[in-house]
Structure 1
Amino acid sequence: MAYAIIAGVPVQLGLYAGTLPLIVYTLFGSSKFLSVGPVSIVSLIAFSGISGITEPGSAHFVELIILLGLMVGFIHLIMSFFKVGDFFDFISPSVINGFISAAAIIIIVNQLKSIMGISLPEYQNFFQYVMEVIVKLPQVNPYTLTIGLVSVFILVLLKKCTPRSPGPLLVVLVSIFLVGVFDVHKMGVDIVGEIPKGLPKLKINLPSLYTIQLLFPTALIIAFISFLESYAVVKSFNNREKEPINTNKELLGLGLANIASSFTGSIPVAGALSRTAVNYQSGAKSRLALLLTASFIIISLLYLTPLFYFLPKASLAAIIMVAVSSLVKFKQYSLNHAPGELFIFLSTFISTLMLDIFWGLLIGIIFSILLSQIRKALY
């Protein structure tokens, strides 16, 4: 829902993106763990690209963002057909670890505004954002902060004591109950609020040639960034389980998922780092978990949306922060590590944190290829 707001569309479109697209990816993708749906970077790029064409929030804006997902999907299918994914099999694991570590930290700091109950500008780079947080400290809502910190404490405690316990579910239920009983939302605590009931109407609209020309630059950027992010997430979790990656099948699954998202009237999708981390830490070992996730979202849309009215956003932020914290890979790298791999890890990590996700991953890939060529020349 938060990503739908970032994209400038109604909140239910964010939920729609977690239904049919996730089912389609489960059928055609290769990863057991990757949770496909709306993500922050894709939502931001979509909003920026389309807001330059038409008024945000208008019916035309929503129509264009739905068509954008269709175009992104077809670009992924073309990349899969020409086996562009084979190129990514040669990328060093240090690139992926550096990217995932920085992305996890970016996700954590972006949740601070929900944990603290303050408003912050969009994330530009790590230090600038942290300075904004420090400046806004006097404006922190004590009730929101208490809910957020207690949620984090419960999640960490349950994770250490009983790793398989449904900590996130417990936090959601307890926080809804407490906010509803004690009316904490009247004290400035931000809650999810009303969510429209019902499933999306399935339909597909083909863009005109003029619309394709308008949306193509944005669609191309999203297609590459969404796959780079999804590939990095898949590689990180598949490496933990020592499972191979079929990159071209990932492109196929992601492309069909984006087409399915357009078909449901939703926004472009990608592999989500935070939701994949929650899925993995919950003990998921097969794609059945992804199908169950989509099923529960569908059930929620049909019958349960009123129950989430009092859900505090601070609790959702706490769940995300705890889930992605384990993805930071500093302990794997030290001065005793291979100098080349350490350099690749640090350059990817720092550039992702200080520049942005796309440039950080691209810089890491370039250094990885250069180092590989140097090694071949020397040995």
Structure 2
Amino acid sequence: MTKTTSQQGMLHRFFPFLAWLKGYQISTFRSDALAGVTVAVVLIPQAMAYAILAGLPPVYGLYAAAVTPLIGALWGSLRQLATGPIAIMSLLVLTTLTPMAEPGSKEFVELAFLLAFMVGVLYIAIGVFRLGLVMSFISHSAVKGFTAAAALIIIATQLPHFLGLSVSRHEYILPRLVEIAKGLPNLHISTFAVGLLAMGLIFGVQKLRKTLPAGLIALVAATIAIVVFELHLKGVAIIGKIPSGLPHPMVPPMKFEIISSLLGPAVVIALVSFAETYSVGKAISSQTKQKVNVDQEFIGQGLANLIGSFFQSYPVSGSFSRTAINFATGAKTGISSVISSLSVILALLFLTPLFTYIPKAALAALVISAVLLLFNPKEVFVLWKKNRNDGIVAVTVFVLALLTKPDYALLIGVMISLMFFLWMTMHPRIVRITKDPELNMFVNADALDKPSCPQILQLRSDNAIYFANAEYTIEHLLERLNEQATPVRFLLLNFEVVGFIDITGTDELRVLLDELKLRQVRLAFLSVHLPVKQVFESSGLLEQLNTEHMFERRETAIAILFEDIDHEYCKKECPYELFRECSTVK
């Protein structure tokens, strides 16, 4: 590698956008500009709605939307990913900070900035130290259960705005639903009518033409209704005056005791939000053929949150809906997100007076319509049918998220997933292998209920052999040997899926070797991978094994082992003719 190439690689590591800006053309800009403006039309109302969901004044959603899409696009790895406020992240901000401060208060707002700062630092640390593999610990089943529950919780938080009810805040969803039900006799008809108008327009426009900005059309219509009929004077809540201008740079308040209390929730929020970002990225990359660089994406999302926190932004993430719109409208590079950010900045500078009379019921309708897509209980049932363990994880997370804090539920789901994984690795499947003469291939004898050679018992362990399962594996191998009613001469262990073995594993193989000697059964190995063979050698086990009985090919193993079995037994008592060698002694 030349010095120039190395320098370019380092430059692209710190400024990844330079790679796709090189050779940027006017025709590409046209596509990006159209996509960016289209996304901004959706982003502006969503940002205000999600800020209210997070317990913040609407303007902070706009501040987040003004800064973070630009940063996320320039420093991330996916060119069409649309970063900004999202529903689930907003919900987690609300549930995390509500016990610490009154939503909407100055203290609450400052805590939201600090939370964004902490999430950003965590993201950047994961990306810089290339720890993106941490995402492997968050199972899809846990995320699906969490997402479905989060959708219901978000809807519950928006119902008071949608119905025009005044209810006290609750940490959990069930008491909130009970209070909403009790308050239904006090339903504010005008507010409910505005909410229904907005909801009807959103679904109607989407059904009529998906390319139209249904949310914006609904908000404009609802706002016109407010102004024309003076509904704000009749009790319909509006978002009120939004300060114009750009956010003033500020440093989030740094207090050790607050940071320590927010560290746990920040980790959960970071992982949950990136799980959505990652799933969005995978969906888009499969169509654009881009490679998802998880570590670079962590850096991009980290910088978006970190820099955003200095411009009064709360935690953000990649948005599924806006990314889909960005891609569908022809975005080619991250410039589309730069255009979206600039559009929001222009709105903050010149259009905020137009937002004054937007009804909160219409914003609630926008949020509810968006998260309804997240609630898909059918996926949980499909998981249950496909894999019972995945189904248990999804249902557990779903139920716990409704009964406790959502972030706690996800952590418990991750722990249960890991427990199931450990249980499976601790109890590997031991499979009996035989040859099917009709198919002329080796098959799973247990699954197909096929006979195997009475004198050459072929067994395969379907996992690595390490300290947690070594004893179980050897005991199970001996149990399978005990099941044979015929005089077994060779135990042929198939190691084709055993990619790892530790010292405990080799010690247990010595136990097996000693037991087989007592039974006058010889041990042979098939398809031992080099790393496993190296452990055999370093542990001294290789010296105790007959290296002539370690085979690469099954046909070779059968041919050589067949020479040393009892051919008289084959001729007089064995009813099977499984190998081609059998015909030579029958």
TM-score bracket relative to the smaller structure: 0.7 to 0.9
Post-superposition shift, 1:158?
Answer: 2.3
Larger CA Rg, structure 1 vs 2: 2
Whole-Å Cα distance in 1 between the matches of residues 255 and 385 of structure 2? Answer: 51
Counterparts of 1:225-374 in structure 2 under 5 Å?
A: 225-238=268-281, 240-241=283-284, 243=286, 246-264=293-311, 266-271=312-317, 276-280=319-323, 282=325, 284-285=327-328, 286=331, 287=334, 290-332=337-379, 333-334=381-382, 336-374=385-423
TM-score in terms of structure 2 length: 0.56
Post-superposition shift, 1:241?
Answer: 4.5
Which among 103, 106, 109 is matched to residue 57 of structure 1? 106
Post-superposition shift, 1:7?
Answer: 7.3
Cα deviation digits, residues 172-201 of structure 1 (max 9, x gap):
111111111111111111111111111123
Matched, 1:36 2:84: yes
Let me know the Cα RMSD of the aligned residues.
3.0
Post-superposition shift, 1:137?
Answer: 0.4
Matched, 1:89 2:147: no
**8 Å contact from structure 2 (residues 119, 315) kept in 1:** no
Distance 1:24 1:116, change over 3 A: same
Whole-Å Cα distance in 2 between the matches of residues 216 and 296 of structure 1? Answer: 34
Amino acid at match of 2:315: V
Whole-Å Cα distance in 2 between the matches of residues 65 and 91 of structure 1? Answer: 25
Amino acid at match of 1:36: G
Post-superposition shift, 1:150?
Answer: 2.0
The 3-state SS of whatever aligns with 1:186 is: helix
- Residue 144 (structure 1) aligns with: 191
TM-score in terms of structure 1 length: 0.84
Whole-Å Cα distance in 2 between the matches of residues 213 and 79 of structure 1? Answer: 22
**8 Å contact from structure 2 (residues 116, 316) kept in 1:** no
Amino acid at match of 1:355: T
Whole-Å Cα distance in 2 between the matches of residues 172 and 133 of structure 1? Answer: 24
Matched, 1:75 2:122: yes
Q: Which moved more, 1:332-341 or 1:106-115?
A: 332-341
Distance 1:302 1:261, change over 3 A: same
Give unpaired runs (5+ residues) of structure 2.
1-47, 429-461, 463-586
Post-superposition shift, 1:70?
Answer: 3.6
Which structure's residues are more often helix, by fraction? 1
Amino acid at match of 2:180: V
Distance 1:151 1:68, change over 3 A: closer
Matched, 1:106 2:157: no
The 3-state SS of whatever aligns with 1:111 is: helix
Distance 1:63 1:104, change over 3 A: closer
**8 Å contact from structure 1 (residues 230, 271) kept in 2:** yes
Distance 1:126 1:157, change over 3 A: same
Whole-Å Cα distance in 2 between the matches of residues 105 and 337 of structure 1? Answer: 25
Q: Which moved more, 1:23-32 or 1:161-170?
A: 23-32
Post-superposition shift, 1:4?
Answer: 5.7
Post-superposition shift, 1:149?
Answer: 1.4
Post-superposition shift, 1:347?
Answer: 1.2
Identity among equivalent positions (%) equals 29
Matched, 1:215 2:261: no
Post-superposition shift, 1:127?
Answer: 2.6
- Residue 195 (structure 1) aligns with: 242
- Residue 508 (structure 2) aligns with: none
**8 Å contact from structure 1 (residues 227, 251) kept in 2:** no
**8 Å contact from structure 2 (residues 58, 239) kept in 1:** no
**8 Å contact from structure 2 (residues 147, 375) kept in 1:** yes
Amino acid at match of 2:124: L
Post-superposition shift, 1:79?
Answer: 3.1
- Residue 62 (structure 2) aligns with: 15
Cα deviation digits, residues 136-158 of structure 1 (max 9, x gap):
10121101101111221222222
Give unpaired runs (5+ residues) of structure 1.
none
Post-superposition shift, 1:348?
Answer: 1.6
**8 Å contact from structure 1 (residues 46, 218) kept in 2:** no
Distance 1:175 1:93, change over 3 A: same
Distance 1:2 1:122, change over 3 A: farther
Whole-Å Cα distance in 1 between the matches of residues 197 and 52 of structure 2? Answer: 26
Cα deviation digits, residues 293-327 of structure 1 (max 9, x gap):
32222111000001111111111111111111112
**8 Å contact from structure 2 (residues 137, 414) kept in 1:** no
Post-superposition shift, 1:250?
Answer: 3.5
Which among 124, 131, 139 is matched to residue 178 of structure 2? 131
Distance 1:102 1:120, change over 3 A: same
Post-superposition shift, 1:45?
Answer: 3.3
The 3-state SS of whatever aligns with 1:157 is: helix
Distance 1:372 1:30, change over 3 A: farther
Cα deviation digits, residues 224-253 of structure 1 (max 9, x gap):
132122123224434544647544333322
Amino acid at match of 1:311: I
Matched, 1:121 2:196: no
- Residue 440 (structure 2) aligns with: none
